[in-house]
């Protein structure tokens, strides 16, 4: 099946939430792991669609979205927007952790709720050089075909066009495949990176 990269459209929203959920635990499926399958997308995907959809690019198979890259150009501005526009609704929808699933990952539901309420976690030390950040996820059927590289290239070009010097990202240290991918693309580990919270960056040039 032919896979194509294109700009995000509003009708892609549910598919993007689904891809986020199914790649959320070190690249693997998080379905049923938290009390509410909406939680992961509400923290790691949907805010990006609401904030700046022009920096969202998707991979489609002609029927549905099977992958995406989500970007923000200015993380400081995004944090302010999140505090004002996203955190209040999120906190109202998810006031406390739901009943335990018995299958909860190391990144607990309590920490996930905290991440939704507190955007300051995104204020990394290297924002002057790498003001943008991204999330990228592809379903297994779309992996290993050069599409991750294409998505990162497309986002870097869009950021470069806006005069943004660099883009960073964080990832789960147990996601060794993601680390190998980022290193292969030329991302470098940033000074404030730690073994438990790796942080990589790359220039847009």
Ligand X SMILES: CC(C)(COP(=O)(O)OP(=O)(O)OC[C@H]1O[C@@H](n2cnc3c(N)ncnc32)[C@H](O)[C@@H]1OP(=O)(O)O)[C@@H](O)C(=O)NCCC(=O)NCCS
* Residues of the shown chain interacting with ligand X in the complex, contacts defined by CB under 6 A: 23, 27, 136-138, 143-149, 171, 175, 177-178, 180-181, 184
What gap in Å lies between CA 82 and CA 100, rounded to an integer? Answer: 27
Element (H, E) at 52: none
Report in angstroms how near the CB of residue 200 gets to ligand X at its nearest.
9
Residue 161 tokens, joined: 């066009």
Smaller CB separation from ligand X, 40 or 147: 147
CB closer to ligand X, 56 vs 136: 136
What DSSP character marks residue 25?
A: B
CB of 138 to ligand X, least distance (A): 4
Smallest distance from ligand X to CB 63, Å: 19
CB-CB contact of 30 with 24 (8 Å): yes
The DSSP bridge partners found for residue 171 are none
Among candidate residues 26, 132, 151, 19, the one with its CA nearest the CA of residue 73? 132
Helix (H) or strand (E) holding 185: helix 176-185
What minimum distance in Å lies between the beta carbon of 185 and ligand X?
6
Q: Which is nearer to ligand X, 111 or 149 (CB)?
A: 149
| C-beta nearest to ligand X: residue | 148
Identify which of residues 3 and 38 has a Cβ nearer to ligand X in the complex.
Answer: 3
């Amino acid at each position: 099946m032919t896979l194509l990269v294109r700009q995000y459209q509003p009708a892609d929203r549910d598919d993007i939430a689904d891809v986020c959920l199914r790649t959320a635990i070190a690249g693997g499926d998080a379905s049923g792991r938290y009390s509410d399958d909406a939680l992961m997308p509400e923290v790691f995907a949907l805010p990006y669609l609401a904030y700046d959809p022009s920096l969202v690019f998707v991979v489609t198979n002609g029927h549905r979205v099977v992958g995406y890259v989500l970007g923000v150009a200015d993380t400081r501005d995004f944090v302010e927007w999140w505090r004002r526009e996203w955190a209040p609704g999120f906190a109202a929808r998810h006031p406390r952790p739901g009943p335990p699933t018995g299958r909860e990952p190391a990144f607990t539901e309590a920490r996930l709720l905290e991440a939704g309420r507190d955007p300051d976690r995104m204020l990394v030390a290297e924002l002057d050089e790498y003001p943008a950040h991204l999330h990228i996820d592809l379903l297994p059927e779309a992996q290993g075909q050069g599409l991750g590289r294409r998505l990162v290239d497309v986002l870097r070009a869009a950021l470069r066009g806006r005069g943004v010097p660099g883009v960073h990202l964080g990832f789960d240290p147990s996601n060794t495949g993601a680390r190998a991918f980022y290193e292969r693309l030329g991302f470098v580990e940033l000074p404030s990176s730690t073994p438990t919270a790796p942080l990589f960056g790359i220039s847009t040039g």
